[in-house]
């Protein structure tokens, strides 16, 4: 869904695990587009918003939200899925954490997380937004199945879209 959003020229700007819904078939949906907006219609007076651990370091440094900022958030979500815990759940979400993120602090991964998965997540969380993969590149990645003992989903909200309705 990030690819669709970005193809429309929009940044989500508040992408975190609480904005991912999961139906009974384990299909995920991105939600809460309240802060989403056109990538080309921002100004430097825009405030920083979102959930701190998911905010890209360049945004914390005062730069504008970009497609790459959403990709950074995706990488943080990948780390969260491997641990079953929100990123930096054991720290205050304050200026100190912001500075640490800007200085390269990234979430940890759970024991047994495959290397290819960590490498992809670290690419997403690269300090240089130009080095992050695009949403299309992520879509095209053929991720090998990850054992359920490694991948944890407690941060995702089970959500049943219910039967399809015809209008």
Q: Is residue 165 part of a domain?
A: no
Q: Is the per-residue pLDDT at 157 higher than 50? A: no
Q: Please give the mean pLDDT across all residues of the chain.
A: 79
Bridge partners of 157, per DSSP, are 21
Per-residue model confidence as pLDDT tens digits over 98-109: 999 999 999 999
Q: Is the per-residue pLDDT at 160 higher than 90? A: no
Antiparallel, parallel or unpaired: β 157-158 and 28-30: unpaired
Q: Which CATH number do you get for residue 25?
A: 1.10.510.10
Q: Is residue 72 part of a domain?
A: yes
Q: Is residue 91 part of a domain?
A: yes
Q: How confident is the model at residue 20 (pLDDT cuts 50, 70, 90)?
A: confident
Q: Is residue 143 part of a domain?
A: yes
Q: Is residue 163 part of a domain?
A: no
- For residue 57, what pLDDT is reported? 98
Per-residue model confidence as pLDDT tens digits over 122-132: 999 999 999 99
- Total tally of structural domains belonging to the chain: 1
Q: Is residue 21 part of a domain?
A: yes
Q: Is residue 166 part of a domain?
A: no
User: Is 32 a catalytic site residue?
Assistant: no
- 8 Å CB contact between 10 and 37: yes
- For residue 121, what pLDDT is reported? 96
Range of the domain at 81: 2-158
Structure token digits, residue 160 = 């049943």
Of the candidates 14, 46, 70, 128, the residue annotated as catalytic is 14
Residue 28 has phi, psi (to 5 degrees) of -100, 150
Bridge partners of 67, per DSSP, are none
- For residue 78, what pLDDT is reported? 93
- For residue 158, what pLDDT is reported? 41
Q: Is residue 120 part of a domain?
A: yes
């Amino acid at each position: 869904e990030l690819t669709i959003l970005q193809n429309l020229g929009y940044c989500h700007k508040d992408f975190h695990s609480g904005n991912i819904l999961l139906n009974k078939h384990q299909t995920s949906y991105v939600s809460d587009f309240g802060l989403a907006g056109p990538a080309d219609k921002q100004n430097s007076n825009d405030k920083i918003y979102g959930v701190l651990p998911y905010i890209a370091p360049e945004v914390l440094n005062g730069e504008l939200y970009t497609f790459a900022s959403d990709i950074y958030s995706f990488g943080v979500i990948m780390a969260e899925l491997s641990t079953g815990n929100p990123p930096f759940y054991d720290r205050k979400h304050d200026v100190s954490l912001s500075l640490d993120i800007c200085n390269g602090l990234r979430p940890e991964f759970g024991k047994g997380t495959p290397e290819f998965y960590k490498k992809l997540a670290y690419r997403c969380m690269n300090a240089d937004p130009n080095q992050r993969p695009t949403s299309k590149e992520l879509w095209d990645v053929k991720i090998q199945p990850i054992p359920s003992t490694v991948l944890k989903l407690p941060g995702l909200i089970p959500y049943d879209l219910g039967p399809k309705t015809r209008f």
